[in-house]
Amino acid sequence: MTEAQPLDQDQVAAIMGVSAVTVSRRQRDDSDPLPMLSGAKGRGNKAQYDPADFGRWLKRQWTQQVDALDLDRERALNLQADTALKRLKEQQLLGELAPIDVLEWALSSVCVQISATLETLPAKLKRRLPQLNTADLELIRKEIAKARNAAATSRIEFSGDHKNANSEQDCAGA
């Protein structure tokens, strides 16, 4: 098996897509210098690079850049989540947003009140309008029952994974 020929500075620059001056700066980088062949060091000597060492160095550089990009992406996602949370808290403080359990309780209370009012309606109508017969009052009771059943089976659809309240029993049972 033949040994690979060393790369010169212009070849390394072409592979990296940078200028020869940038390659020269990378050779002097204190944190992770571009590896040169030992005989090529010093002024006046043309820099040469072992292809295998250069490949390993390039892989390290790429991995570090990808890790930095992943970290930046995670920081951006975290910032977005924090911003959304702050908006929600602000909306809650302004009274524009309420917890689901509070809304469920309020809707349940309204359902109970409406149901109680509807329950008294046939008797009030009979006293106010004595000409209503039993068939008329039964029709009114059936329509009230339909309305209560429709309210009992209605659901508020959430876009998230929220639990459904048992408000239907409150509306139907009062």
DSSP E strand boundaries for 10-52 = 48-49
How far are the Cα atoms of 48, 89, 139 from residue 5, in angstroms, in the given order? Answer: 10, 64, 99
7-90 carries CATH number 1.10.10: yes
| pTM greater than 0.75 | no
With residue 124 as reference, give the H or E element that holds it.
helix 100-128
- pLDDT tens profile 7-36: 888 888 898 888 888 888 887 777 778 888
- pLDDT tens profile 62-73: 887 777 777 788
